Structure 1
């Protein structure tokens, strides 16, 4: 069971910003920038392109909805989108507020926000959805 499946089941707590019966969006606890959100299908599948078309399109549409709220909560030039999928064997989309291309550099040192800072960030995004 992936760490993301443990979040879906409630075994691990997360700062959830949006949820449907099929999808979940929550803050990355080691973000590249504040507001970095992960969007996942609740059903565990390792590789995003192994998802059936309906689920893939649903996940993409859900990510778009979250990205619109994210951009309002964390004003930026654009919300960057990345699918890497090497660290956690559960399909996921990164949504990252961007003001320059360096904001999407996954090799840079990650932030270490407090639980309070993450809770505030999640509340800001939820308020815009």
Structure 2
């Protein structure tokens, strides 16, 4: 459970690779997803490496949830959405992380219940531009201060 140079999120936490950081504490880093489901899609990671959500100490999981709630309020204020999704998915990168996504429609975070095509190919989201990420980060930082 130590930091690994091969872990993308450890590199972000150590600031050895760039990320558009929205908020950080001694134990957590919140940054914008470069392939957002919606603009403002934030990932919260612990600075210390834990492979999966169920590996997190309860106190650290609670910190992630608390920051997620603060970010959700900021997203509601900034994006004018009624709901914000909070997910631990356990996919793609083996470093525990939560997704916080402003939901403009209930299908933003989807399930087979919302997909009418039985044979649908789903690919990665479009990569956001650095300008769009910086604009979203500045707005969310300001909303967190209110």
Q: Deviations over 1:106-125 (max 9, x none)?
A: 84651322101110010000
- Measured in 1, the distance between the counterparts of 2:34 and 2:110 equals 16
Partner of 1:57: 62
Q: Deviations over 1:52-92 (max 9, x none)?
A: 11111111112111221122222212101111122001111
**Any stretches of 5+ residues in structure 1 without a counterpart?**
none
Aligned alpha-carbon RMSD (Å): 1.5
1:117 partnered with 2:103:
no
Alignment partner of 1:74 out of 74, 79, 101: 79
**Any stretches of 5+ residues in structure 2 without a counterpart?**
112-121
Partner of 2:116: none
Which 4+ runs in 1 deviate beyond 3 A? 105-109
Would you say the 8 A contact 2:35–2:124 is kept in 1? Answer: no
Q: Please say which structure displays the higher CA radius of gyration.
A: 2
Partner of 2:141: 126
| TM-score normalised by length of structure 1 | 0.92
Alignment partner of 2:53 out of 48, 52, 55: 48
Q: Secondary structure at the match of 2:92?
A: coil
Would you say the 8 A contact 1:24–1:41 is kept in 2? Answer: yes
Would you say the 8 A contact 1:18–1:66 is kept in 2? Answer: no
Alignment partner of 1:99 out of 75, 97, 104: 104
Partner of 1:31: 36
| Aligned length, in residue pairs | 129
